[in-house]
Amino acid sequence: MTDETPKSPTVKARLPRGLADRGPAEIAATNRMMGAIRESYELYGFEAVETPFIEYTEALGKFLPDLDRPNEGVFSFQDDDEQWLSLRYDLTAPLARYVAENYDKLAKPYRSYRAGFVFRNEKPGPGRFRQFMQFDADTVGSASVAADAEICMMAADTLEKLGIKRGEYLIKVNNRKVLDGVLEAAGLEGEGRAAQKLIVLRAIDKLDRLGSDGVRLLLGPGRKDESGDFTKGAALTSEAIDKVMSYFADQAIYAELPFRNRLLSHAADPRFPGRALDNMAVLDVFEAAVGNSAIGREGVNELREMVELFEASGYGSSQIKIDATVVRGLEYYTGPVYEAELTFEVKDEHGRPVRFGSVGGGGRYDGLVARFRGEPVPATGFSIGVSRLFAALKALKSPIVSGAQTRGPVVVLVMDKDQIAAYQGFVTQLRNAGVRAELYLGSAGMNAQLKYADKRGSVCAIIQGSNEREKGEVVIKDLVAGAQVASAAKDMDRNEYLALKQRAQFAVPAAGLVDAVKDVLGRY
Amino acid sequence: MTDETPKSPTVKARLPRGLADRGPAEIAATNRMMGAIRESYELYGFEAVETPFIEYTEALGKFLPDLDRPNEGVFSFQDDDEQWLSLRYDLTAPLARYVAENYDKLAKPYRSYRAGFVFRNEKPGPGRFRQFMQFDADTVGSASVAADAEICMMAADTLEKLGIKRGEYLIKVNNRKVLDGVLEAAGLEGEGRAAQKLIVLRAIDKLDRLGSDGVRLLLGPGRKDESGDFTKGAALTSEAIDKVMSYFADQAIYAELPFRNRLLSHAADPRFPGRALDNMAVLDVFEAAVGNSAIGREGVNELREMVELFEASGYGSSQIKIDATVVRGLEYYTGPVYEAELTFEVKDEHGRPVRFGSVGGGGRYDGLVARFRGEPVPATGFSIGVSRLFAALKALKSPIVSGAQTRGPVVVLVMDKDQIAAYQGFVTQLRNAGVRAELYLGSAGMNAQLKYADKRGSVCAIIQGSNEREKGEVVIKDLVAGAQVASAAKDMDRNEYLALKQRAQFAVPAAGLVDAVKDVLGRY
């Protein structure tokens, strides 16, 4: 049949842009990480649910992740009955469809978690994939902020369970109602002000990067950056700007300091003892900032209730922190919003400090299920970006993702092709004893077979040539000891050297194969 | 915000046809099954690999699963640079792309496994989904049929590990070269005979259903079925028909018997002692049937080598059986083909016998990787249909998929809304002790809260009203015992009844909450 094979390649083997293959070590480590998250979520009473990758486009709705391109970003195709289908771009819209479709049979409030790939039809870039994994948890059917508080505590527990220590992360919490209240107090009410509000929210989001002077410019006339590019401002009066900035009293203390992590390290930063505000004090600042705004006061009270729940459960401001700068991009949030941020720094390959920043976030959304049901269905949920979290755990050398590299299987060499059934018999004996083992299946000679075993990371190779066969023996090569022999120092003690050589290769009766292999595997 | 909610639903919540949601019990059971398969494959030295769901359409190539509709069946969309992308329809084509793209860095022969969803853009029907899971194992870079033999033995081991007993399954093996040889011996050579060959192969595939007389008609003039529909025959001479039929000597013994499982149950069927041919005898029949055909003889020799390997490893004809009727639909197979068939019968909900039949299959393909590399790359692989296997294990009541239903979490009731922080504290204590627990997050009264706990399958609910609070106590309700009280027989012994009631609901000091809950959970 091989003569039908084309002599020159007809198709180039290439992964489409923005997609990734994964090998065994990464798959195993990711699975361990996902398993730990799952355990943590189940302890909180969340149960697994899975929806398919494809939904009707209309069911995914207009809740797209990018405010600036609300109708882009989704892979879509038409069904045979001309209805549009799309690959899901997150796990929230499909959950809303699932809950609406199965509303009566679900016990409510309904806590669920699900993990899976989502797809974005976007220009890929470094760290920007078109297929990536999310791990979500949502509570549907509870209007109580106890549901939001629970998810924040669960996020903290989960990060710690994954090996991220207290002080290396912060769950940052805010409330959309407080943001609305601050804008209202600053005179930014009414539909006509929507564009201005958006500019203000984006400015708030940049406090960490630009400091308070930069944000003041964005709230007022606008700001020219170092490259000379001009960003239009919100054109607030200086009174209104003061009002908005008063809301950042907690952050403003650090806003001009010349280090990047000021917003995150303050809670326990020894350089500024006593200067960081605890959660209840931050809420007093918020209360002043929202003034008489009813929606603002409602938001502050909700956050106060959440802080009481955190304290009753022993979660302090060094784990879960009320934070004025948390905005969250998604339009559909209606109440508390939260973000899981990693606060430690690592060095990249060039020795530069890198921070992972946000590895997950979420908030309260009350409109998603209502689209299907015509009645309000309160909900709140949290989504982890699995690959970013995975990269962070790698950087932290968390044992969950950096467990010892698995050794390769034992390789039984094929010395004489007509003896292949006997070699297969050795392999089967090892497998029956629970030892991972394989027959060499290629056509190369002995040296190439041993190289193959090395490349597989095998500890042990089994050899039986005609000499051994006549004596009823097999030779066992310990490849780890073999490598030590090869690299042994010239002045190594002779007896030690001989002992090492003896360990590296020895013969046993064929009947003793399994025991001898287990001995060798036990050495490492 | 709720006043912005639409008053009537704007979108119908519906899963697109041919797709499925899955709940916690099915997800957990499937994961256990997949874990067992993974372990089995790893014992054989196969390693995990994962490719994305999307590939360039040209990389998926023309190897589509349905011979009759070679260009249908795939979900496709155009990229921003106008290149066509498709959702993968199997796991073999993406593996070929992966191996070709990473050829030099892979240790070869390369054994790998991967599990994941694949997509078919087809008319959905009962048991026919547009998204379903496959679990594949492939060896790339080995021309030796030892690679095929190994996969057959691994398939047998895997089914047994999943709880399918010896005698309840059969790995059936054939070789495309033998089929070609039989056709050659019957005079069906040359390109011009392709259509006729296809009719013959399809006729062979139907021996099980039609018996040898029916197949003879299909090989000859054609056949009219019970409904009067006529199927065109291959128009072979009666000599050629005899030649083709001689190849089925093993099956022909049973071909006229009035039970459906004749091909599968014969190996150990007490009704026909000594009549079933063992593998080596079947190969003698094959050898006679292929006559002087070189390709046919090559195929028989390959099967003989495989049977020697099976026997050296202790796999008998009751586990792995050479079977003339295995054809396999895919065009790309070039050598050994194999199928995992379940041979036991179960009753469906109407009491009718149901057989699951094939739950997986595969074979040798040498052209898939060559498309990318321009040189032959021998490969062989096996694919399990996960949902069909899952259904079969369910029917067999295999412990792997029917493990005890998990109980729901402990539910802490909210009796007084202003005490919610205290209730949350109870929940946290339980979680910190490793007990799955939740705070009731809805707004309903006590009875509805208890109903919620029942619906969740909880064993235990925790109640603290103002009376208990004053005494520093909590009430623990054992919901299982509570249900027994409610359904207790009228003539139940009074002391027994009182003891049951005492077990069903009792108060403990709040400090003893965790221990008391653990006691109750320990009861079940």
pLDDT tens digits, one per residue of B134-163: 999 999 999 999 999 999 999 999 999 999
* Start-to-end C-alpha separation, chain B: 45
- Is 60 exceeded by the pLDDT of residue A350? yes
CA distance B11 to chain A (A): 5
- Count of A–B CB contacts within 8 Å? 307
Contact B443 A143 (CB under 8 A): yes
How much is the pLDDT for A199?
Answer: 85
**If you average pLDDT over every residue of chain A, what do you get?**
87
- Nearest Cα residue to B131 out of B75, B84, B78: B75
Q: What percent of chain A has pLDDT over 90?
A: 59
- Is 90 exceeded by the pLDDT of residue A79? no
Contact A54 B19 (CB under 8 A): yes
How much is the pLDDT for A330?
Answer: 64
How much is the pLDDT for A6?
Answer: 47
How much is the pLDDT for A272?
Answer: 42
A409 touches chain B (CB under 8 A): yes
Confidence of residue B80 (pLDDT cuts 50, 70, 90): confident
**If you average pLDDT over every residue of chain B, what do you get?**
87
How much is the pLDDT for A406?
Answer: 76
Q: Which residues contact A475 (CB under 8 A, 6 or more apart)?
A: A462, A463, A464, A465, A468, A505, A506, A507
- Looking at per-residue confidence, does B426 or B235 come out higher? B426
Confidence of residue A470 (pLDDT cuts 50, 70, 90): very high
Element (H or E) spanning B393, and its range? helix B386-395
Contact A44 B431 (CB under 8 A): yes
How much is the pLDDT for A212?
Answer: 82
CA distance B401 to chain A (A): 16
- Residue among B5, B62, B295 with most chain A CBs within 10 A, to mutate: B5
How much is the pLDDT for A280?
Answer: 87
Q: What's the pTM?
A: 0.89
Chain A residues touching B24 at Cβ < 8 A: 47-49
Mean pLDDT of A128-152: 95
Contact B142 A442 (CB under 8 A): yes
Question: Which residues on neighbouring strands pair with residue B268, listed in sequence order?
Answer: none
What are A7-22's pLDDT values in tens digits? Answer: 566 789 999 989 999 9
CB-side exposure of A108: number of CA atoms within 13 Å?
A: 18
A178-217 residues touching B, CB cutoff 8 A: none
ipTM of the complex: 0.88
Supply the DSSP symbol for B352: -
- Is 70 exceeded by the pLDDT of residue A90? yes
* Start-to-end C-alpha separation, chain A: 45
How much is the pLDDT for B253?
Answer: 52
Q: Is A86 helix (H, G, I), strand (E, B) or coil?
A: strand
Q: Is B354 helix (H, G, I), strand (E, B) or coil?
A: strand
CA torsion sign for B125, B130, B132, B134 is: positive
Q: Where are the beta strands (DSSP E) in A26-164?
A: 47-48, 54-56, 76-78, 84-87, 110-119, 131-140
Tally Cβ neighbours within 10 Å of residue A175: 30
CA distance A48 to chain B (A): 5
Element (H or E) spanning A21, and its range? none
Supply the DSSP symbol for B23: -
- Nearest Cα residue to A297 out of A306, A305, A283, A287: A287
Element (H or E) spanning A501, and its range? helix A494-504
CB-side exposure of B294: number of CA atoms within 13 Å?
A: 1
How much is the pLDDT for B195?
Answer: 79
Contact A147 B373 (CB under 8 A): no
How much is the pLDDT for B274?
Answer: 42
A446 touches chain B (CB under 8 A): no
Torsion angles phi and psi, residue A397, rounded to 5: 55, 40
Nearest Cβ partner of B2 from A15, A131, A366?
A366
A523 touches chain B (CB under 8 A): no
Confidence of residue A84 (pLDDT cuts 50, 70, 90): confident
Separation CA A99–CA A88 (nearest Å): 16
CA distance A233 to chain B (A): 28
Which stretch of A196-210, B241-255, B370-384 has the lowest confidence by average pLDDT? B241-255
- Nearest Cα residue to B459 out of B475, B476, B434: B476
Which stretch of A53-67, B341-355, B395-409, B502-516 has the lowest confidence by average pLDDT? A53-67
- Nearest Cα residue to A176 out of A399, A363, A398, A397: A363
Please give, one letter per residue, the 3-state secondary structure of A278-346.
CHHHHHHHHHHHHCCCHHHHHHHHHHHHHHHHHHHCCCCCCCEEECCCCCCCCCCEEEEEEEEEEEEEE
CA distance B294 to chain A (A): 13
- Is 90 exceeded by the pLDDT of residue A149? yes
- Cβ proximity of A377 and A370 under 8 Å: yes
How much is the pLDDT for B8?
Answer: 63
- Nearest Cα residue to B267 out of B323, B312, B305, B309: B323
Q: What percent of chain A has pLDDT over 70?
A: 90
Contact A100 B13 (CB under 8 A): yes
Nearest Cβ partner of A21 from B58, B98, B141?
B98
How much is the pLDDT for B68?
Answer: 44
Q: Which residue has the tokens 């623990």?
A: B476
Q: Which residues contact A109 (CB under 8 A, 6 or more apart)?
A: A139, A140, A141, A142, A147, B440, B441, B442
Residue of chain A whose Cα is closest to the Cα of B42 = A436
What are A271-293's pLDDT values in tens digits? Answer: 444 445 788 888 988 999 999 99
A105 touches chain B (CB under 8 A): no
- Nearest Cα residue to B53 out of A393, A392, A195, A52: A52
- Nearest Cα residue to A361 out of A92, A133, A155, A117: A155
- The tokens describing A363, both together, are 């908030």
- The tokens describing B413, both together, are 């009731």
Tally Cβ neighbours within 10 Å of residue A182: 26
B394 touches chain A (CB under 8 A): no
What are A402-452's pLDDT values in tens digits? Answer: 866 678 999 999 999 999 999 999 999 999 999 999 999 999 999 999 999
Q: Is B184 helix (H, G, I), strand (E, B) or coil?
A: helix
Contact A372 B19 (CB under 8 A): no
